[in-house]
Amino acid sequence: MPRRSRVDPVAIAAVGLHGVAAVADLTALGMPSSTIARRVHAGHARRLLRGVVKEGPDEPTDDQRAAAALLYAGAGSVISGGEALRRHGLTDPNPGRRILVLVEAQRQRTSSAFVEIERTERLPTATITDDLAIAPLDRTVIDTARRQDRIDVVRAVLTEAVQKGRTTVARLAAELAAGSQRGSALPRRVLHDELGAGVRSVAEAWARELHAESDLPRVLWNPRLYDPAGTYIAQADAFFPDVGLAWEIDSVRHHFLLPDWDKTLRRRARMQAFGLVVAHTRPSRTRADRAAVIEELWGSYRLAASRPCPDLRVVVAS
């Protein structure tokens, strides 16, 4: 390839990623490092990280920031954490936080600017998304959860992945056990005590805490209900099997769209048609109006207990 006198898009495209290149790769094309430095100084190129530049002075895109993070970390590095979670189609709980990049334990590279480096003995095999090396989903979820210091954020990260069917509680628990134990206390608590019991949302975790204070009998979380012939009825948020009481946690966020609300009403009507008593609670009340909610649940429980318990087959969440 002929020598080039400036840091231009063609040269970056030859050795870079998303319009970003490592200075070392550009100099290997024959560009003097002094030329690159002059271009940066003149505003024709922009230095994103030590040894990483892009053509033009404009702010980097999300793809360019991610590409720069990988180029800075070096060959074989893998993006994990919230940035990878978003690229897996899940919610980044901390948008704007530094990009987590995993590198081999022997690599001498430190965190810098918008990049957080984690050296690991368990460098995962990357999946390629948008031409970027991304950690597998289970590793991404656990790496993200380990970096949170609020239990509701940990709950949101873990339950979203499970609720959307992207992974299982067992797979996440195995990943947590196999990896770094730094920051693992909250994820372990949520996985073992809550998701392991069938809880599948932050709101349900709040409801579970309330139930623990109520002295109400045993409850199952997210069981699937069938009639004796095997006909599917519904999946209740919570279910008291001894009396046939379903407890629905009616999230305003989930029911904001009319189709969601219609689906909820149909599920409710179907459970009632099979003889179930159905109680409803908004998530906010499980925290702000706990005594009243417990009293209401006891009332619904007594009502269900006064009626014949429906003959159902109950399949617990796994």
Q: Tell me the pLDDT tens digit for each residue of 9-18.
A: 666 766 678 9
pTM of the complete model? 0.88
Helix axes 137-146 and 151-163, enclosed angle (nearest 10): 170
Helix axes 169-178 and 151-163, enclosed angle (nearest 10): 130
Compute CA distances 62 → 67, 93, 132, whole Å: 9, 16, 11
Q: How many domains does the chain have?
A: 3
Could you tell me if 81 and 50 lie in one domain?
A: no
Could you tell me if 211 and 302 lie in one domain?
A: yes
Compute CA distances 274 → 63, 238, 240, 305, 309, whole Å: 52, 16, 15, 15, 10
Whole-number mean pLDDT of the chain? Answer: 91
Dihedral angle of Cα 100, 104, 107, 112, to the nearest 10 degrees = 0
Q: Tell me the pLDDT tens digit for each residue of 47-77.
A: 999 999 998 889 999 999 999 999 999 999 9
Kindly report the number of other CB atoms within 10 A of residue 243's CB atom. Answer: 20
Q: Tell me the pLDDT tens digit for each residue of 116-174.
A: 999 999 999 999 999 999 999 999 999 999 999 999 999 999 999 999 999 999 999 99
What pLDDT score was predicted for residue 258? 52
Q: Could you tell me if residue 70 is inside a domain?
A: no
Integer Cα distance of 41 and 31 in angstroms: 16
Q: Tell me the pLDDT tens digit for each residue of 266-281.
A: 888 999 999 999 999 9
**Of 150, 152, 122, 151, nearest to 138 (Cα)?**
122
pLDDT average, residue stretch 32-44? 87
Could you tell me if 222 and 184 lie in one domain?
A: no
Q: Could you tell me if residue 18 is inside a domain?
A: yes
Q: Which residue has the higher pLDDT, 262 or 249?
A: 249
Could you tell me if 236 and 187 lie in one domain?
A: no
Could you tell me if 28 and 124 lie in one domain?
A: no
Q: Provide the residue range defining the domain that includes 168.
A: 76-197
Integer Cα distance of 70 and 85 in angstroms: 16
